[in-house]
Amino acid sequence: MRNKGLTLNEYREMTHRVGRIWTAAAMLLIIAVPLLFCVIYGVAPEWSSFLRGAAAIVPMYWAIGLIEVFNYSPMLGIGGTYLAFVTGNLLNMKVPAAQVALNKAGVSASSEEGEVLSTIAVAVSTIVTDLILVAGLLFVIPITNWINSDPVLSSVFDLSSGYVIPALFGALGAVFLAKSWKIAVAPTLLMILAFLLIPAVYPISGILIPVMSVLSVLIARWMYKREM
């Protein structure tokens, strides 16, 4: 890879350097939003309640955040990883976009071509998502009024009804399950059993992502050794 005389290693070092800067900037911007509210309105969190709430959810999100880096980085390449983690929506948008681009070109994310393709794919998917969101916002009020006027539609699209989220992630999950359905059978059955037999698992379901990721790898290795 040559860009102003850069070698591949130099390009990767530059990407890491720029990626760390933008990641740090994104984190500061996220923190700046609640901080500005506190400054403008002269309020502050009740720190005891804040710490109790954080203690309950932070371990789960740290685990998910760490496992996502190990899971998705090999699929996205260096540039694509930094860009995807800064812009978000990895599983639904960024990873599929990068994988489609790499599969069409027949290259891996770690190759020179893959580095460029995955970064472009993630960037384009981000731009397209933003444009769709802007276009959607222009129609959100009339569409919302239409949905609310129909009792059937309003009950279906009500998040508290429990229909929307399972339908969304079920459709997304079906695509990935179909690609490697043999590997997906055991983790899927275990998750279903966990939710049915241990209802207390539902509020902390995110913590099961790294557990099932490790389990999927072990099952895939076991199946590979037995030529399944």
HEC string of 81-109?
A: HHHHHHHCCHHHHHHHHHHHHHHHHCCCC
- Does residue 165 sit in helix, strand or coil? helix
What is the per-residue pLDDT across 27-65, written as a single tens digit (0 to 9) for each? Answer: 899 899 889 998 999 888 888 888 888 877 777 777 777
CA 104 to CA 96: how far, in whole Å?
12
Structure tokens at 103: 């599969």
Give the model's confidence band at 173: pLDDT under 50 very low, under 70 low, under 90 confident, else very high: confident
The Cβ of residue 66 has, within 10 Å, a number of other Cβ atoms equal to 11
What is the per-residue pLDDT across 194-208, written as a single tens digit (0 to 9) for each? Answer: 778 877 666 666 667
What pLDDT, on a 0 to 100 scale, did the predictor assign at position 21?
Answer: 93
Mean pLDDT over the full length of the chain: 80
What pLDDT, on a 0 to 100 scale, did the predictor assign at position 17?
Answer: 92
Structural contact between residues 106 and 135, judged by C-beta atoms closer than 8 angstroms: no
Phi/psi of residue 77, nearest 5 degrees: 80, 180
What pLDDT, on a 0 to 100 scale, did the predictor assign at position 20?
Answer: 93
Structural contact between residues 78 and 19, judged by C-beta atoms closer than 8 angstroms: yes
**pLDDT > 70: what percent of the chain?**
87
Q: What is the pTM of this model?
A: 0.59
At residue 104, does pLDDT exceed 70? yes
Question: Alpha carbon 183 to chain centroid distance?
Answer: 21
CA 90 to CA 133: how far, in whole Å?
16
Give the model's confidence band at 2: pLDDT under 50 very low, under 70 low, under 90 confident, else very high: very low
Rg (CA), the chain: 21
Structure tokens at 181: 């359905």
CA 131 to CA 116: how far, in whole Å?
23
CA 105 to CA 111: how far, in whole Å?
11
Structural contact between residues 211 and 63, judged by C-beta atoms closer than 8 angstroms: no
What is the per-residue pLDDT across 112-169, written as a single tens digit (0 to 9) for each? Answer: 888 889 889 999 999 998 888 888 778 777 777 777 777 776 666 666 556 666 777 7
**pLDDT > 90: what percent of the chain?**
9
Mutual angle of helices 181-197 and 164-179, in 10-degree steps: 150
Q: Which residues contact 25 (CB under 8 A, 6 or more apart)?
A: none
Mean pLDDT value across residues 171-175 = 73
Give the model's confidence band at 75: pLDDT under 50 very low, under 70 low, under 90 confident, else very high: confident
What pLDDT, on a 0 to 100 scale, did the predictor assign at position 141?
Answer: 72
- Does residue 162 sit in helix, strand or coil? coil
Convert 105-127 to b/e letters by CB count within 10 Å (16 or more is b).
eebebebeebbbbbbbbbbebbe
